[in-house]
Amino acid sequence: MVGGAAAGTSSAPSALAAHEQARPDLAAKFRVSLTLAGGHTQRQQWQLTRSANEISWIKGDGVEEIWRRDRSGIRLERVLRADRHVIDYPAGELRAMTVTLDWQELGGLFSEAALARLKPSGLARQDRPQRLQGVVDGEKIDLHWDPIARLPIRLARSGRNGRVLFERTALHQAAPAGWPQAGDGVEDFQRLDAADFGDMADKPVVRKALARDQKAGWRQAH
């Protein structure tokens, strides 16, 4: 979602230095508003839990994503709760699909490496929230960045397909009691391997998973 030629700013050195440091573990919630090009708006609540080698998202559309990384690379476990299925995307399969993953963006909604491509409003300081704006990969970005949590307070991304707005509504060092946990209670769900989708294309749940992959740009629509 990010890339392109860098536009140097005065915040570049501090942004790159922060990008190389370990991020704090945390749990957060976001209010999400997706406005499509036709004007229709969808509203959801997303929940993030982040640690050094695991990132989990609970999204308002009934999907949970659990990202893990180790020496083999980054892998994904996607829970389709309404369908009672778990889809496994091993690191090797994601590489075979030529999926480009940014661990920083997976756990922060925006790639920290791209902060230097945005222009700060006012004096940029590492220890205070700051507002940054610019265009990255054809998307107009308006970002209120929390440099301590290394997470947006507010992020608006606008492109030709519409606009998505993330507004942080809660932040904790760990998920409070009562918050749901991604992947909880799926012991009796059916598990599928994304590498086997070619032999199961007629299954409704596989078609649903393929559609999500295509929307993310991981596969070509047929």
Give 106-122 pLDDT, tens digit per residue.
Answer: 999 999 999 999 999 87
What average pLDDT does the structure give for the chain?
Answer: 87
176/82 Cα distance (integer angstroms):
25
Q: Burial, 205: exposed, middle or buried (Cβ in 10 Å; 0-12, 13-18, 19+)?
A: middle
Q: What are the extents of the domains in the chain?
A: 12-215
| Residue 199, pLDDT score | 82
Tell me what percent of the residues of the chain surpass a pLDDT of 70: 88
Say whether pLDDT at 142 is over 70: yes
Instruction: Find which of 11-25, 69-83, 204-218 is predicted with most confidence, using mean pLDDT.
Output: 69-83
Reported as a single tens digit per residue, the pLDDT across 181-190 is 999 999 999 9
For residue 196, which of 211, 217, 212, 210 has the smallest C-alpha distance? 210
Average pLDDT (174-196) is 95
**pTM for this model (two decimals):** 0.84
Query: Regarding predicted confidence, which is higher, 215 or 178?
Result: 178
Looking at the structure, give the CATH architecture of the domain made up of residues 12-215.
Clam (2.50)
Q: Is the pLDDT of residue 78 over 90?
A: yes
